[in-house]
């Protein structure tokens, strides 16, 4: 009887222990899964030399054909896009996004120092947790795996100024979460570069051509000029026109550089200038020059026998307050604007109107000869994000060893990475998917 009583007591106790053990095991597994999927942002210094692939020495300019994709590797693109052609993707609002970006400064190694705001010491992080939300349709988040599948055996070029370089970094970071790119070309200044995603045979290029026309500039890396720019309004820049036939998709833009002081040439003769302060030279102004070159650029595109898919991106606004980049202007806001809290600046409005007018004419011509032109109108959504710029954190720990009130040059034009510019990838993918569907 005593033995039987002992057995009755022992069995439930063992059952309790077993249940507790299973619970602890499940909790441990849940914690492991959660912690492994969490992408931390790190202000610590990453040794770029240890992480950078020395692609130029180890890889040929073009890779061999990638292996065929098997059925189980095919990516299903159905239901990814909103497929609402009537929706204007560029009219909407920034809404909270608790999930944040798909990469961080510790999971992407191609972020250049001036845009690596976290590494450079920026402490606030709220600017990372917003996403662009069109008002009349949904906008799925960029999917790097699906994008690489779409771009298999293709080439994509970003042609323009440093905002294009900013955008290509964003795209490379997003895609690196699936496959690391390999740099296969760069010029001596690293302003013209090309990357390859080997398993997809997908090339991404950035082409430095801030005017889209032939130009001679006299300024250092900080934008300090030692002479007037010489801009040839009747000659497009061969650095992009000679490569044009190699590209399947092109994002192209001009704009901001036309605000710089310049002499204008046609037929190799000075015909006028912008802000040259010379009474013997006609003040034609930046509006004349920008319209002239943008018109020539779009005529080249619509007149070419080669028909890539073209995005014309509108001008990107800056958010300098109480001055310009070289006169003490700064940007220290930490939240997006809402519609009505800010208006487009006069100069940006002039540039954008020129872009809209020239695009409309080119689109009409393109529709008749098979040229696919899309307006990539990021002006409004960018205008609402004063919080996404590097500001003083364009430099590594800018206040180190300095007075906290020291005047430090701000960058209120380019974007932190990760940051608001990542939404441009969402938009680009949605537009391409609408076309394919």
Among all residues, which ones are annotated catalytic? 162, 411, 414
CA 227 to chain centre: 31
**SS3 assignment, position 275:** coil
Dist. CA 364–CA 302, nearest whole Å: 10
Largest CA distance in the chain: 120
Instruction: Kindly list the distances between the CA atom of residue 309 and the CA atoms of 74, 367, 435, in Å, as whole numbers in the listed order.
Output: 24, 12, 10
Paired residues of 391 in beta bridges = 411
**SS3 assignment, position 348:** helix
Dist. CA 409–CA 100, nearest whole Å: 28
E-strand stretches of 285-347: 309-313
Dist. CA 353–CA 359, nearest whole Å: 10
Is the distance from CB of 337 to CB of 386 less than 8 angstroms?
yes
Tokens representing 309 are: 């898919």
Dist. CA 149–CA 152, nearest whole Å: 5
C-alpha dihedral over 124, 126, 129, 135, to 10 degrees? Answer: -140
Rg (CA), the chain: 26
């Amino acid at each position: 009887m005593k033995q039987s009583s002992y057995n009755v007591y022992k069995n439930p106790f063992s059952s309790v222990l077993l249940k507790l053990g299973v619970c602890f095991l499940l909790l441990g597994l849940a914690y492991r899964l959660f912690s492994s999927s969490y992408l931390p942002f790190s202000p610590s210094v990453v040794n770029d030399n240890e992480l950078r692939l020395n692609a130029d020495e180890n890889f040929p300019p073009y890779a061999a054909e990638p292996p065929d994709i098997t059925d189980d590797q095919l990516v299903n693109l159905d239901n990814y896009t909103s497929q609402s052609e009537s929706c204007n993707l560029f009219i909407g609002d920034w809404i909270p996004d608790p999930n944040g970006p798909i990469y961080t400064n510790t999971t992407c190694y191609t972020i250049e120092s001036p845009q690596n705001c976290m590494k450079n010491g920026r402490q606030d992080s709220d600017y990372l947790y917003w996403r662009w939300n069109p008002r009349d349709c949904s906008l799925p988040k960029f999917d790097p795996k699906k994008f690489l599948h779409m771009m298999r055996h293709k080439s994509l070029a970003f042609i323009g100024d440093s905002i294009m370089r900013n955008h290509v970094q964003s795209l490379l970071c997003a895609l690196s979460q699936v496959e690391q790119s390999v740099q296969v070309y760069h010029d001596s200044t690293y302003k013209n570069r090309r990357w390859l995603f080997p398993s997809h045979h997908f090339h991404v290029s950035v082409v430095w051509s801030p005017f889209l026309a032939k130009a001679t500039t006299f300024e250092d890396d900080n934008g300090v000029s030692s002479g007037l720019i010489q801009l040839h309004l009747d000659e497009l820049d061969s650095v992009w026109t000679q490569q044009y036939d190699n590209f399947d998709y092109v994002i192209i833009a001009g704009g901001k550089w036309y605000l710089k002081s310049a002499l204008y040439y046609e037929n190799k003769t000075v015909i006028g200038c912008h802000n040259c302060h010379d009474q013997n030279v006609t003040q034609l102004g930046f509006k004349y020059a920008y319209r002239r070159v943008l018109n020539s650029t779009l005529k080249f595109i619509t007149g070419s026998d080669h028909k890539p898919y073209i995005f014309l991106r509108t001008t990107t606004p800056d958010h300098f307050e109480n001055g310009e980049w070289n006169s003490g202007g700064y940007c220290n806001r930490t939240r997006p604007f809402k519609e009505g809290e800010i208006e487009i600046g006069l100069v940006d409005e002039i540039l954008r109107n020129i872009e809209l007018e020239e695009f409309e004419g080119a689109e009409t011509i393109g529709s008749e000869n098979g040229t696919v032109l899309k307006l990539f109108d990021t002006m409004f959504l960018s205008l609402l994000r004063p919080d996404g710029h590097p500001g003083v954190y364009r430099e590594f720990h800018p206040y180190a060893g300095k007075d906290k009130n020291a005047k430090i040059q701000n960058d209120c034009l380019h974007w932190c990475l990760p940051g608001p510019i990542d939404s441009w990838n969402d938009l680009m993918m949605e537009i391409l998917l609408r076309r394919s569907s």
